[in-house]
Amino acid sequence: DIQMTQSPASLSASLGETVTIECRASEDIYSNLAWYQQKPGNSPQLLIYDANSLADGVPSRFSGSGSGTQYSLKINSLQSEDVASYFCQQYNNYPFTFGSGTKLEIK
Amino acid sequence: QVNLLQSGAALVKPGASVKLSCKASGYTFTDYYIHWVKQSHGKSLEWIGYINPNSGYTNYNEKFKSKATLTVDKSTNTAYMELSRLTSEDSATYYCTRSLRRVPYYFDYWGQGVMVTVSS
């Protein structure tokens, strides 16, 4: 199985700041990577697919980048509604696997 | 609008089985795979497997092969997941979600989740 190592596990930042979350795959996943946002008590919601494509309705302050085994999610100009957990997921190989998640809080 | 509506929370006894449902609406049911994902309390997500509603073909995560059985009823646009021989390790929230039937297989819509509690 492909292991997805996500960091940091938690993050605290101020409103308006830029934050970055990293995800490393145990082997090349050819940009077959998605990022999801999960607010407390809610289902995960798709943010980014194919490593850098913004899902419909997602604010442009979210962006994804990376290739090979290294990927990142950047959130510009942090807003209060961005408080959530964020997960990466590879869909290059079965079984699909997720990162362990990053919990984002506002300072 | 696309909606995946899951059945309500379940409290089940150890050793029993439970069948969860996921009713799809707002799109052509047979155009998308239905996947199931497990989230243990406060933890990350695990992919259980998917079913192709058009053919009934299933693909399971090896870890869940003897635990989960995926089926569909095309007449009601509903997908089911039966979990058998339940233990406390199966207590979790289970989501259904969908992906295209071709690459890329990201999950664009999710059900609201159903909490399964295994307790005597």
pLDDT at A96 over 80: yes
State the virtual CA torsion across A3, B36, B45, B84 in degrees, nearest 10. Answer: -100
Distance from CA of B106 to the nearest CA of A (A): 6
Average pLDDT over residues A88-107: 97
**Quick one: pLDDT at residue B109?**
97
* Number of residues that make up chain B: 120
What residues in A contact B95, CB-CB < 8 Å?
43-44
User: Residue B104 has what pLDDT?
Assistant: 82
Q: CB-based contact (8 Å) between B95 and chain A?
A: yes
pLDDT at A14: 97
Given an 8 Å threshold on Cβ–Cβ distance, is A55 in contact with B62? no
| DSSP letters spanning A13-42 | E-TT--EEEEEEESS--TT-EEEEEE-TTS
As a whole number of angstroms, the distance between CA B79 and CA B52 comes to: 10
The pLDDT of A74-94, averaged and rounded, is: 97
Tell me the pLDDT tens digit for each residue of B77-106.
999 999 999 999 999 999 999 998 887 899
Instruction: Give the pLDDT band of residue A97 (cuts 50, 70, 90).
Output: very high
Q: Is B52 helix (H, G, I), strand (E, B) or coil?
A: coil
Which site among A52, A56, A96, A100 would you substitute to test the B interface, given the most B Cβ atoms closer than 10 Å to its Cβ? A96
pLDDT tens sequence across B51-62? 999 999 999 999
pLDDT, one tens digit per residue, over A18-77 is 999 999 999 999 999 999 999 999 999 999 999 999 999 999 999 999 999 999 999 999
Residue B42 has pLDDT above 80, yes or no: no
Burial letters for A41-73: b for 16+ Cβ neighbours within 10 Å, e otherwise?
A: eebbbbbbbebbeebeebeeebbbebeebebbb
Contact A44/B95, CB-based, under 8 Å?
Answer: yes
CB proximity list for B21: less than 8 A, separation 6 or greater: B6, B7, B78, B79, B80
Confidence bin at B72 (pLDDT 50/70/90): very high
User: Do residue B110 and residue A44 have CB atoms under 8 angstroms apart?
Assistant: yes
Which among B44, B95, B103 has the least Cβ separation from residue A99?
A: B44
Residues from A contacting B (CB-CB < 8 Å) are 32, 34, 36, 43-46, 49-50, 55, 87, 89, 91, 94-101
Q: Cβ separation of A100 and B44 shorter than 8 Å? A: yes
Cβ burial of B47 (10 Å; 0-12, 13-18, 19+) is buried
| Contacts (Cβ under 8 Å, ≥6 apart) of B42 | none
Contact B45 A87 (CB under 8 A): yes
Per-residue pLDDT averaged across B42-70, rounded? Answer: 95
Residues of A in contact with B63 (CB under 8 A): 95
How confident is the model at residue B43, as a pLDDT? 83
